[in-house]
Amino acid sequence: MKRVRRLFDVLASLALLAGLAFAALIVRNHLYPPELLSAGPADVQVIDGDSLRVDGRTVRLQGMDAPEYRQNCRDGAGAEWPCGREARAALERLARSPGLTCESHEQDRYRRAVARCRNAAGVDLAHAMLGAGWAVALSRYAFPGYERAEETARSARRGIWRGEFDRPSDWRAAQAIGRDGA
């Protein structure tokens, strides 16, 4: 009987927490409605593999981190190649299709909209970049399926996974150290 009561208490607690989380989401969306951005190909400018300008607003794709534009990677033989430029080109191909839409619930410290973007075909740009091997998933911010897409690309040795690379956050940190020390 005690086991049944304990199970009931655990389930009731979980239901309460789920209810509170749902209520918080409703309040957040009511007080801070999502920013919706949409643009045609002429109104989209790709900055790098995870940032773009949509109708004049700078957007950072949520849940992923791509190599910086100036970042190089090493292939299986150790030769450097411009992975940052290739990541940018991959995002440009995805974002240039008509009917791009982005939904943002927050801004980052650089005042960019952090958003989930889809093209007219319904393709989630971040998920596609991860699946093609042009980015790493940011587990804390990733949507369902993002980490699996990264794992698939890693296993198939696509994009940045075909050799060695510095994680974009590590590369950025090293560049900041180099500038300060120079």
Q: Say which CATH number the domain at 161 has.
A: 2.40.50.90
Residue 19 has pLDDT above 70, yes or no: no
- pLDDT at site 80: 96
Q: pTM for the complete prediction?
A: 0.78
Domain limits at 67?
A: 34-172
* Number of residues that this document lists for the chain: 182
Lowest mean pLDDT among 37-41, 59-63, 119-123: 37-41
Lowest mean pLDDT among 13-17, 93-97, 131-135: 13-17
Q: What gap in Å lies between CA 119 and CA 138, rounded to an integer? A: 21
pLDDT, mean over the chain: 86
What's the total number of domains in the chain? Answer: 1
